[in-house]
Amino acid sequence: QVQMVESGGGLVQSGGSLRLSCVASVASGRTFSANTMTWDRQAPGKQREAVAGITRDGSTNYADFVKGRFTISRDDAKNTVYLQMNSLEPEDTAVYYCSADGYMYYEDGTPVVGRFRGQGTQVTVSS
């Protein structure tokens, strides 16, 4: 119903930066209105963990391990959420996933509420 597509991952050296993007797409004639948008991550052999979130009014929250290094932002006109990652460390190596809670509206205006998640983008930080 709502396709979340992440991009911007890759290989970077320790201390470097990456900017992740995630676009929420719907079929023609439908619309999507996101409330909270989030990024989480999963490293090999570890559980998935929350990284950052942003509400529709722009309020943000961050995991302690990324505070001061990562910045989440959104562009509702583009149905896009971003994660600017600076001062990357090898411990940040993981697959990063975006999610959005919100309403998708069918062509006739019927709303469907849901939580939609992307397939992830790999971030690898070398030491």
- What is the structure's pLDDT at 1? 85
- What is the structure's pLDDT at 35? 96
Beta bridge partner(s), residue 105: 31, 111
- What is the structure's pLDDT at 18? 98
Split the chain (127 residues) into runs of 10 and give each run's mean pLDDT. 95 98 94 96 96 97 96 96 98 98 94 95 97
Are 51 and 37 within 8 A, CB to CB?
A: no
Q: Write b or e for each residue in 4-15: b if 16 or more Cβ atoms lie within 10 A of its Cβ, otherwise e.
A: bebebbeebeee
